């Protein structure tokens, strides 16, 4: 029963983290769109096409879904598993997840570099890998803090209870 509850907690935490990591950029896109629209109206500039809002929203939702499934979830879940097996504190997962994401992206783009049909040079490989890594740091942090907030709060609560008994 305990394993079932732990597994259910894992699924719920990562599900919430995935949804929030996808929704926040989409909401920011809507805000930016309406700020740009207001700016265009105030300064008498062209307002753009009517499909910019839904297309941008859809594009961001698809891109962030791909990033969550291919990069963020595997990185955080694997780091969480390694940290639990080694008995490391929860906050130790932060630098490990950053390194894990760098390794994951290097392997992914290394595979593209080896696939000669993709037409990627060494310089474009390095810049693409670095850009994707830097682009993914903020979503990784957001995803990690959302997914690990429950265990972190429980760990803090247990620590406070131990301190109060002493």
pLDDT digits (tens, 9 = 90+) for 19-46: 999 999 999 999 999 999 999 999 999 8
Asked whether residue 166 is assigned to any structural domain, the reply reads: no
Domain residues for the domain of 23 are: 2-153
Residue 105 belongs to a domain: yes
DSSP state of 92: G
Domain count, the chain: 1
Where residue 2 falls among pLDDT bands split at 50, 70, 90?
A: low
The residue count of the chain comes to 166
Identify whether 22 is part of a domain. Answer: yes
Helix then strand then coil, in percent of the chain rounded to 5, is: 90, 0, 10
Residue 11 lies in a domain: yes
108 closest CA partner among 123, 93, 125, 127: 125
Higher pLDDT: 162 or 117? It is 162
Look at residue 165 and tell me if it is in a domain.
no
User: Is residue 64 a part of any domain in this protein?
Assistant: yes
Contact 13, 147 (CB under 8 A): yes
22: how many CB neighbours lie within 10 A of its CB? 22
pTM listed for this prediction? 0.82
Q: What angle do CA 80, 82, 87 make, to 5 degrees?
A: 95
Distance, CA of 155 to CA of 61 (rounded, Å): 33
Taking the CA atoms of the chain, what radius of gyration do you get in angstroms? 20
* Domain-located, residue 31: yes
Instruction: Please state which of the ranges 56-60, 106-110, 115-119, 153-157 shows the lowest mean pLDDT.
Output: 115-119
Q: Please report the pLDDT score of residue 102 as a whole number.
A: 93
Q: Indicate whether 75 belongs to any domain.
A: yes
- Residue 166 has a pLDDT of 63
């Amino acid at each position: 029963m305990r394993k079932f509850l732990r597994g259910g907690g894992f699924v719920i935490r990562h599900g919430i983290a995935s949804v929030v990591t996808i929704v926040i950029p989409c909401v920011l896109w809507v805000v930016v769109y309406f700020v740009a629209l207001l700016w265009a109206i105030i300064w008498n500039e062209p307002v753009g096409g009517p499909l910019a809002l839904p297309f941008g929203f859809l594009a961001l939702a698809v891109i962030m879904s791909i990033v969550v499934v291919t990069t963020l979830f595997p990185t955080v879940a694997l780091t969480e598993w390694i940290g639990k097996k080694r008995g490391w504190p929860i906050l130790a997962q932060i630098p490990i997840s950053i390194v894990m994401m760098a390794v994951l992206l290097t392997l992914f783009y290394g595979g593209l570099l080896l696939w000669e049909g993709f037409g990627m040079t060494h310089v474009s490989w390095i810049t693409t890998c670095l850009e994707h890594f830097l682009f993914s740091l903020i979503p990784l942090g957001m995803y990690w803090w959302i997914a690990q907030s429950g265990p972190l709060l429980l760990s803090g609560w247990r620590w406070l209870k131990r301190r109060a008994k002493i």
